[in-house]
Amino acid sequence: MKKEDLPKTWDDVINPKYKGMVALDDPLRAGPLSGMLAGLKEYWKDEAQWTRYIKGLRALNVTVHKSTSAMFRLLIAGEYSIAMPSLLHDVIEEKEKGSPVDFVKSAAPVISAQQLGIYGKAPHINGAKLFAEWMIAPEGQLAVSAVGREVSRKGIKSKASIEYAWGSNVKPIPSVNKTYSEDPRKWLDTYVKPVWEN
């Protein structure tokens, strides 16, 4: 795809000219696209715009994918021109390998919180706690950065951070929809499914 043909905003992605060109994550599986839709709903605060966006994605008439990683592999293979959405660390990794991929910097990135959890019935709960402590310590965060993932600790740079990719003045769109966070399935069934399936 030529640079001048790329979408510039999130709204641009639903342009009918991209019909059949977009690899689309399943918006009903509580995956990256679902979280992004929750973030955009809060960000836009415009029900008509948000509904039009979902209908526009549906009108692209593309296969929806249950795995963002598998979907991204199809983009790399040239099956699609746009992956919606893509994970920043995947794009950066592929760019470093020389793959002809990039991300659109004119659209603000949608971000979501990253969590680390410990299973309450873990057989070695103290070991799990030690691992969690290590993960948030500088050493653990450096290990996370070394494998190309974004870190959470201030003062540790990561090539997969939005600041690295977009610059320090970036104003991301946070996915902070409380109702979605509490029960993604219920939120999707209430808000996305009726629009997507009609």
In the predicted model, what is the mean pLDDT of residues 11-38?
Answer: 93
pLDDT at site 122: 87
**pTM, entire model:** 0.83
Residue 115 has pLDDT above 80, yes or no: no
* Highest mean pLDDT of the ranges 56-60, 105-109, 110-114: 56-60
Sign, Cα dihedral of 145, 152, 27, 174: negative
CA 109 to chain centre: 8
Residue 113 has pLDDT above 80, yes or no: no
The DSSP line for 81-124 is SEEES--HHHHHHHHHHT-S----TTSPPEE--------TT-TT
Enumerate domains of the chain plus CATH numbers: 3-114+170-196 (3.40.190.10)
In the predicted model, what is the mean pLDDT of residues 110-129?
Answer: 86
**What's the pLDDT tens digit per position in 135-164?**
999 999 999 888 888 888 888 888 888 888
Per-state percent for the chain, helix, strand, coil, to nearest 5: 50, 5, 45
Nearest to 3 by CA among 95, 100, 99, 91: 100
In the predicted model, what is the mean pLDDT of residues 168-182?
Answer: 87
Bridge partners of 23, per DSSP, are 83
Residue 187 has pLDDT above 90, yes or no: yes
